[in-house]
Copies of this chain bind each other. A is one copy, B any other.
């Protein structure tokens, strides 16, 4: 099936080597004679695997020891609640920077747990990251939340904002492990696996340990970062198979040039498409300002800036005939979209 080119934004394409490894170990994990799916999460086998995968994350992102690496369930949307439940009790208020649909949804969920301020001016459309000078940051906020890459709108940060000592929290669901960044500038980052680093079912949280021990009483135990850290992400049965797939992808990244190479590839692949769009004399249209164009997912229109439905349907139909699949944009955004995984 080598003629299939999968542009799904998430769940996204995974390296074929990872599938070879998964097939190899499916019924006999590491010589145990049983599948990982049949293995106790309290076994030496899983405890070793759990540590190994945390170590790969630590090496790839250069995570210092005062940050905990947690594996949770519930996806990015689970952490839209998890972030305020774990971090908002300090002052009862948090700043949200709105740069697209996902940051709006994160802010809406956070409102259940305290006072949510929008730190940036209301925008009619999401085509850039508002200049830092326009951000209205509350020094009393428990944290500042950003969405580092908006999967639907295709807007991506190219800088880490200075929040004057207020912990910065980033949703990196759709670009984690696609570039190097200085984790010490963040209080916490989180990302689900199914966009760039695995399959749906596991969400990684990396949190500075001084931010633990302040979960709200209403926080479900399985979303409690402190409890999860104390239990080394084995509070209850972890989604071990999803964690293993993630580990396999992370090890593949490590073997294939680490984050420097992933970033280089993301820039190269996305530039090819953006250049083509920009040189199409308006036949294709990418709405996002050049500086903030996502290197992970490219929303674009066919025809005029608002798109031409018939042309776009024809584009998708003809693309599918060529084996280019999962190109249609998100149901909340009629744009088409090209998504780049690592491979």
Closest to A46 in B: B11
Please report the C-alpha to C-alpha distance between residue A331 and residue B245 in the assembled complex, in whole angstroms: 27
CB distance from A46 to the nearest CB of B (A): 9
Given A76-B236, A236-B77, A26 contacting B34 (CB threshold 8 A): no
Query: Provided the pairs A76-B236, A112-B218 are in contact, do residues A199 and B43 lie with their beta carbons within 8 angstroms?
Result: no
Which residues of the other chain, B, contact A221 by a CB distance below 8 angstroms? 77, 80-81, 109
Contact, CB under 8 Å: B241 / A199: yes
In the complex, A323→B33 CA distance in Å?
9
Does A73 interact with chain B (Cβ within 8 Å)?
yes
The CA of A3 and the CA of B28, in the complex, are separated in Å by 13
* Other-chain residue from B10, B14, B33, B222 in contact with A74 (beta carbon distance below 8 A): B222
Whether A42 contacts B331 in the complex (CB less than 8 A), given A11-B37, A81-B220, A220-B78, comes out as: yes
A4 to B29, CA, bound (A): 13
* Count of this chain's copies in the oligomeric assembly: 2
Residues of B within 8 A of A16 (CB): 27
Cβ of A6 within 8 Å of any chain B Cβ, yes or no, is yes
Interfacial residues of chain A within 82-108, with CB under 8 A of chain B in the complex? 82, 85
Q: Which of B9, B201, B238 contacts A241 (CB 8 A)?
A: B201
Smallest distance from the beta carbon of A26 to chain B beta carbons, Å?
6
Docked Cα-Cα span, A323 to B240, in Å, equals: 23
Residues of chain A touching chain B, judged by Cβ–Cβ distance below 8 Å, are 1, 3-4, 6, 8-14, 16, 19, 22-23, 26-28, 33-35, 37-43, 73-78, 80-82, 85, 109, 112-113, 192, 194, 198-202, 217-223, 235-242, 245, 323, 325-326, 331
Q: Can you list 15 pairs linking A and B with CB atoms under 8 Å apart?
A: A9-B40, A11-B240, A23-B26, A23-B27, A37-B194, A37-B200, A37-B245, A41-B200, A76-B236, A78-B236, A80-B221, A109-B220, A218-B218, A220-B223, A241-B241
